[in-house]
Amino acid sequence: MNKPTPAAVPAAFSRDIKTIVNAGLQRRHAAERRFRSYGLIAISLGLLFVVLMFANIIGKGYPAFWQTYVQVPISFDPAVIDPQGTRDPVAIESADYAALVRAGMRRMFPTVEGRTELRALYALVSSDATYELQRRIHQNPALIGSSQEIWLLASATVDTLVKGNIDRALDETERPIKDNQIGWVDKLQAAGKIEKQFNTILFSSGDSREPEQAGIRGALMGSFYTLLITFLLSFPIGVATAVYLEEFAPKNRWTDLIEVNINNLAAVPSIVFGLLGLAVFINFFDLPRSAPLVGGLVLSLMTLPVIIIAGRAALTSVPPSIREAALGMGASKLQMVGHHVLPLAMPGMLTGAIIGMARALGESAPLLMIGMVAFIVDVPKGIMDPATVLPVQIYLWSDLPERAFVERTSAAIMVLLAFMVLMNGLAIILRKRFERRW
């Protein structure tokens, strides 16, 4: 055999490895420290912005959870409510309750005279005060004839003043509230007749032009119905598609094409789905505008690719040994999938679904296209009623100049975030329940 000629010993072999390594050691450690500090800086910056954002939203939004009320002595004068004395509910319903409110206000400030002055005085309470009295009489007609001290909703300007958001030093013409009104509010406050109560209206009523009467219930229910439709459509279809593509479909050019298209769909800007929904569901199928049904359909189209991709990833992560075990026992393919693969992939699929749903919850652009941006006062009672959703409501309110709407915008954002946390919590609970650690 021919022996290999011994190669010349490289010069590096004759140097002392210890000194060589030591020489560069400091530089290596410094590089590592630098890298760590970059990481720390990046994380702290991120956290800082999160904290800033939350501080800003909560700081602005939390006053919206409290609403100013004025205690007004109301006398339910039968001569005003029921002049005929018939106690006819229809007549009582249409009585002039505003007159009762006005009388109550005059009773508190008997010295105020003149049309302009009186109008300024009446403006302290919200127009909702009238409906409030109407509701009370409707619930309890026995009140007619009695006199009561009633907490009535203050107007948004009073609310803003009480919350300290109006600069009293400004010139009268530059503030939304006049000097005499400030004087009355101060007097009422001194007498303990002004109070901040928990803002139930925010959660119980729909949108309104008057900030003190505007609530998010309409948007909340709209979001709920929309997401319900989205989930009911996209989850079963998404899971079925993922299972078919992953387990049953032949691997050929067609399935490749479908796969590429699904991946592309996941990256399509959401507004495009909105246009599609407008063209197909509203113009072609003639479904109603602004309806959660259409919103849900559009968001399903958007969520489907996410669920399919996550579902397929979950299916591939199921160990092949389980499939072999099932097939080896003589299980049919559907039994293998149904009994073994799908239960194991379910946690992953649910996670994908929740990610998709969270995205759908925060989506506003496609819904603008199908008319869910309309000003809708009534709380939707079903999937065909006109509705809006939380992000769109936030967008609508953020456009309005009143200070009271600014805090409501932040409050709505807080509710939206809470909704998302709730959904993610639910996802974790479901995942834990389905997850088998063995």
Partner 1 sequence: MSTTTIEIKTALDATLHSDTDADKRSSVEVTDYNNRQTVGKITVDHPKMVCRNVNVYYGAKQALKNVGIDIGINEVIAFIGPSGCGKSTFLRCLNRMNDTIVACRVAGQIKLDEDDIYDKSIDVVQLRARIGMVFQKPNPFPKSIYENVAYGPRIHGMVNTKAELDELVRASLERAGLLKEVEKRMNEPGTSLSGGQQQRLCIARAVAVNPEVILMDEPCSALDPIATAKIEELIDELRENYTIVIVTHSMQQAARVSQRTAYFHLGDLIEVGETDQIFTNPKHKLTEDYITGRFG
Round to whole Å and give the CA distance between 374 and 357: 23
Least distance to partner 1 from the beta carbon of 335, Å?
6
| 340 lies in the binding site for partner 1 (CB under 8 A) | yes
Q: Whole-number minimum distance, CB 341 to partner 1, in Å?
A: 11
Neighbours of 300 (CB within 10 A): 24
Q: Does 2 bind partner 1 (CB under 8 A)?
A: no
Phi, psi for residue 211 in degrees, rounded to 5 = -60, -35
- The answer to whether 272 touches 293, Cβ cutoff 8 Å, is no
| Residues 227-256 interacting with partner 1 (rule: CB under 8 A) | 251
Contact region for partner 1 (CB under 8 A) — 97-105, 279-287, 327-335, 382-390?
327-335
Q: Does 197 bind partner 1 (CB under 8 A)?
A: no
What is the contact mask toward partner 1 in residues 407 to 436, using x (rule: CB under 8 A)?
Answer: -----------------------------x
Asked if 1 is part of the footprint of partner 1 (rule: CB under 8 A), the reply reads no
By CB under 8 A, is residue 322 in contact with partner 1?
yes
**Using CA atoms, how far apart are residues 396 and 290, in angstroms rounded to an integer?**
15
Nearest CB to partner 1, comparing residues 131 and 434: 434
> Counting contacts by CB under 8 A, is residue 116 touching partner 1?
no
Smaller CB distance to partner 1: residue 350 or 360?
350
Instruction: Choose between 359 and 431: whose C-beta lies nearer to partner 1.
Output: 431
Asked if residue 117 lies in contact with residue 180, where contact means CB atoms within 8 angstroms, the answer is yes
Distances (CA, A) of 308 to 126, 215, 414: 51, 36, 30
CA distance 300 to 262: 13
Please give the Cα distance from 136 to 188 (Å, whole number): 23
* Least distance in angstroms from the C-beta of 348 to partner 1: 14
Interface with partner 1 includes 316 (CB under 8 A)?
Answer: no
β 147-153/66-75 pair status: antiparallel
Contact yes or no for 342/243 (Cβ under 8 A): yes
Q: Is 332 in the site for partner 1 (CB under 8 A)?
A: yes
The window from 98-106, 262-270, 333-341, 360-368 that contacts partner 1 (CB under 8 A) reads 333-341
**Which is nearer to partner 1, 289 or 339 (by Cβ)?**
339
Residues in a beta bridge with 72? 150
CB distance 307 to 233 below 8 Å: no
Q: Site residues (CB under 8 A) for partner 1?
A: 251, 319, 321-332, 335, 339-340, 344, 436, 438
